[in-house]
Amino acid sequence: MNDQPQSEVNPGMNVDARLAFPGWIRLASILAVVIGAAAAIIGFLTAPVVESWLWLVVWFLVFGGAAQGVLVWAAIFRVAQARWTPAVNRLGHSTIGFLPIVLGILVVLLLGVRFYVPWVWNPLPEKAAWLNIPFMIIRNLAAMALMVLLSFILVRWSLEADAAVARGEDLSRNLHYRLNSVAVAITIAYPFVFTLISYDFIMSLWPTWFSTMFGPYYFTTNIYMSLAVLVVMGVLLGSHLRVGRYLGPDQFNDLGNLMLGFSLFSMGLFFAQYLTIWYANLPIETDFIIFRYLRGPWVPLGWAAFIIGYVVPFLLLQSRTLKRRPRWLFWVALLVIAGVALERYVLVVPSVMYALDRPGHLLLFPVSALMGLGFLGALVLAVLAFLRRYPAISAADEALKEIYDREEEVLV
């Protein structure tokens, strides 16, 4: 971790810096992938089948959401014309190699819906137009494929712009407009795609329940978690990338401020959803909340996720000193990731256990849970491979900063 003041961190760094990381990290990641794959095989062969499928759903939501979320932040920063994010954007780009794996896991989950989706076992005729297997497969594959395609275009065009800079060419405003257009498309598509994911892989597992607030809550908490992932990546990789001028206390302070805002916004959406369910007081809506936050074995986990992932980070991030110290911010980011991941577990598992008439049953089969190591190892390998191959600074974003700086000088 790099906790030096910004002015003391490698002031003469080269924007073409590449990742120089200890080899044992790669070996450990490969081992994690092997363990995860073995856990998946053993789990599906020996554990209750539904438990293995539910662990796969949870890890898909956590790691798939994080990988796509950090890339969405790169698009958001470009749309906002943020000038402090050339290194942060490249960290966001680095998860692109993991997205085909996410798409592959989605295919597996869609092929196995009969094993873990309650409305398949007990169809609801009044919702059959939406809750049917062919339509579920088509809409999810089309939506996620669109998201992955737009992400690849953004990263590809950004790398092409980097190559143009390396050749000594001046970047035209047209190239920036082209990058901006795909970034805008990503930021528009993301809420729709991940609202769909939340409907089909969380809400439909309790098919009689619905909430118009749940989609916004889900994709908002997802990008909140992705901010925390960016902080963790920045702290762990910053010194190895030698980009201190672009990833110092000022940048971490800005990321911390964004985390603070999204923690508050996420809690606001949580309360807004609870309030509408409370004053309506309809059993078809209240059961979902009661089962997780008011009565039963899931209540401790539900409140632990809320406190760890939202309340504690909100309180800690009030400190400007903490946000400017990467090592301290790193631990707050881990709290956010742990809290949101636990919340995904609480949102998914109780619904299916309730449908199986096992409402007090928690998923405790440890081998199936180890599938998460495979996801983590694959994500780390994808990030390391990208950052070892491409510059740590997005030259296109750095050129954009210079263009706007020159325009400001002219105006002044």
Q: Is 407 contained in some domain?
A: no
CA-to-CA separations, 76 to 208, 264, 408, in angstroms, rounded: 35, 19, 22
How many domains, the chain? 1
- At 302-338, the pLDDT tens digits run 999 999 999 999 999 999 999 999 999 999 999 999 9
The 10 Å Cβ neighbour count of residue 322 is 17
Residue 10 resides in a domain: no
Q: Is the pLDDT of residue 258 over 90?
A: yes
For residue 65, tell me if it sits in a domain: yes
E strand intervals along 108-150: none
Residue 324 amino acid letter: R
Question: Does residue 381 lie within any of the structural domains?
Answer: yes
Q: Which two tokens stand for residue 12?
A: 């003469």
Taking alpha carbons only, the member of 213, 208, 196, 192 closest to residue 127 is 208
Helix (H, G, I), strand (E, B) or coil at 140: helix
Per-position DSSP letters for 41-99, written without gaps between them: HHHHHHS-HHHHHHHHHHHIIIIIHHHHHHHHHHHHHHHTT-SS-HHHHHHHHGGGGGH
Any domain includes 306 = yes
Alpha-carbon distance of 205 to 120, in angstroms, equals 10
- DSSP-derived 3-state class of residue 405: helix
Q: Which of 105-114, 336-345, 366-375 has the lowest mean pLDDT?
A: 366-375
**Interatomic CA distance for residues 356 and 65, integer angstroms:** 27
pLDDT tens figures, 23-68: 778 899 999 999 999 999 998 888 778 888 999 999 999 999 999 9
Alpha-carbon distance 78 to 99, whole Å? 20
> Residue 7: inside a domain, yes or no?
no
- pLDDT reported for residue 6: 35
User: What would you measure as the largest C-alpha separation in the chain, in angstroms?
Assistant: 70
In a domain, 218, yes or no: yes
Measured distance CA(21)–CA(238) in Å, rounded: 11
Residue 294 DSSP symbol = I
Indicate the residue type of 89.
N
Express each pLDDT in 91-111 by its tens digit. 999 999 999 999 999 999 999
Tell me if 3 is assigned to some domain. no
Parent domain of 265: 15-398
